[in-house]
Amino acid sequence: MTKESFIIWLIAKIILILVVFVALLLTIAFLIYAERKIIAFMQSRIGPNRVGPIGLLQPFADITKLFLKEDLIPAGADKFLFVLAPCISVFTAFMAFSVIPFGRDIVIHNVIIPLQITNLNVGVLFLMAIFAINVYGIVLAGWSSNSKYSLFGGMRSCAQMISYELPLGLSMVGILMLSHSLSLRSIVAAQSKHWFILMQMPAFIVFLISSIAETNRAPFDFPEAEPELVAGYHTEYSSFKFAMFFMAEYASMITLSALAVTLFFGGWLGPSFLPPFIWFFIKVCLMLFFFIWLRATYPRLRYDKLMKFQWTVLLPFSLLWILITGAILI
Amino acid sequence: MSMILNYLPLFILAVLVGFFIITSVILSGFIGPKNPNTTKSSPYECGIIPEDTARKKFPIKFYPVAMLFVVFDVELVFIYPWAVVFNKLGVSGYVEMVIFILILLVGYLYILKRGGFEWEKRNF
């Protein structure tokens, strides 16, 4: 690669990173608005409608309010870890999106720029690593707060998240067997004939259940189960640090939806009358709507049942599914 | 394109996100009002004065989860490369994986029989 083409590549990448970062922030803001509005309609309420036209500026009002609030650190808290915990959560949530492809290659002056922050050849493995670090944010928040509710929430969610990481990882194995690659770009390319959901429906169901548990969303939102744990691991957090946990939760929701679309629904592939990234955006929005729909529909389960379900149903089933996929392919 | 170069955008993103986190934490610390008092900074406990510290002994139930996780996560590490080169390994590769999972199944059944997966019965 010549020096000139390297500079073009670098500038294009920096612009791409900035665009993705801003787009992710805006998507988080409007996802919070969309969730409140959709759940309101599902419960025959109106939802936020005061700030801006039909309440569209509500998330920005919320974030400004949180930004201007007093930042409390409870007595007896481990100050360093208390500040570090939300930073880890947000950092991992944003980093995870970097391997998701969202469009065709574009060519500028003979330099090929894939529409993806970076095309790692170990993309899926990188994502698993990021999800593993994500646990630290929550468990450190719970431990450092010196509050009983936070500690319970932190421990619960730690056990839940590491348990559900296994079926999450195992459900992707079938995809790897079909696409012969860990790179998410090659996985999308391998779906040009038909989407992997057609062959991997059971794996998709396992993936969906464990991704809901992994993001601590209803009906698996035990870390913050309001009636019993006040607010779980972020009970003691206020001001912008609270907002950071909120952002991290919604960012990982977006990333997991994008990952589900990439692995099972052909990523950015679609009929050519719309540009690829619009197809990608539509599919991700549908997945996100599904997440919100679940929250409005189902009550919270029981913690022991959740754990038992993972170890005795999801884990053996996903192992069995790997063997079935292998037998079909051979 | 060299493989190392693929990690450069990751590094740029990490710097950007790190910058965003640090500035917003510091800024919100400066902008917000500061009127600390002992009642406000005590940990929340339904309005009563907090009894004792929160960092005490914790049910052992949570720790075996981590141990079980390690067992199956290591297995996952072995399955991933196998899955990527699955088409090249053929029947023998498949049979080897069946044997590997069967060996693991013995341990799994042992934990199941000892009640390791039942949250209430757990007594290691």
Question: In the 8-state DSSP scheme, what is residue A47?
Answer: -
Mean pLDDT of B64-72: 83
CB atoms within 10 A of CB A72: 18
B122 pLDDT above the threshold of 70: no
Residue spans of the domains in chain A: they are 3-29+72-329
Instruction: Give the model confidence (pLDDT) of A152-194 as tens digits.
Output: 888 888 888 888 888 998 998 888 888 888 888 888 888 888 8
Q: How far is CA B11 from CA A33, A251, B22, B109, in A?
A: 31, 19, 16, 44
Return the number of CB contacts < 8 Å for A and B. 194
B106 pLDDT above the threshold of 60: yes
Q: What is the pLDDT of residue A227?
A: 67
Mean pLDDT of B48-62: 74
Radius of gyration from C-alpha coordinates of chain B: 25
B8·A13 Cβ contact <8 A: yes
Mean pLDDT of B91-95: 88
Closest to A265 (Cα-Cα) out of A328, A173, A175, A170: A175
Instruction: Give the model confidence (pLDDT) of A88-117 as tens digits.
Output: 989 998 888 888 888 887 777 777 777 778
Mean pLDDT of A132-151: 85
For B68, name the nearest residue in chain A, comparing CA atoms only: A163
Q: Which of A70, A169, A181 sits opposite B76 (nearest CB)?
A: A169
Measure the CA–CA gap between A190 and A180, rounded to whole angstroms. Answer: 9
Q: What is the DSSP string of A101-164?
A: --S--EEETTEEE-SSS---TTHHHHHHHHHHHHHHHHHHHHHHT--HHHHHHHHHHHHHHHHH
Instruction: Answer yes or no: are the C-beta atoms of A254 and A23 closer than 8 Å.
Output: no
Question: Residue B37 forms beta bridges with which residues?
Answer: none
Mean pLDDT is highest, among A130-139, A299-308, B50-59, for A130-139
Q: What is the pLDDT of residue B124?
A: 47
Instruction: Give the model confidence (pLDDT) of A33-81 as tens digits.
Output: 898 889 898 888 888 888 878 888 888 888 888 888 888 887 777 888 8
- A159 against B53, higher pLDDT: A159
Question: Residue A108 forms beta bridges with which residues?
Answer: A111
Q: Chain B residues with CB inside 8 Å of A236's CB?
A: 43-44
**Which residue segments constitute the domains of chain B, with CATH numbers given?**
2-114 (1.20.58)
Give me the percent of chain A exceeding a pLDDT of 70. Answer: 98
Q: Which three-class secondary structure state does DSSP give residue A246?
A: helix
| Chain B residues 27-86 with CB within 8 Å of chain A | 27-29, 31-36, 38, 40-45, 50, 53-55, 58, 62, 65-66, 68-69, 72-73, 76, 79-80, 83-86
Instruction: Give the model confidence (pLDDT) of A121-130 as tens digits.
Output: 888 888 888 8
Query: What pLDDT band is residue A207 in, cutting at 50, 70 and 90?
Result: very high
* Interface contact B107, partner A, CB < 8 A: no
Q: Which of A17, A162, A323 sits opposite B9 (nearest CB)?
A: A17
- Interhelix angle A239-264/A123-144, rounded to 10 degrees, is 150
B123 pLDDT above the threshold of 60: no
Query: What pLDDT band is residue A289 in, cutting at 50, 70 and 90?
Result: very high
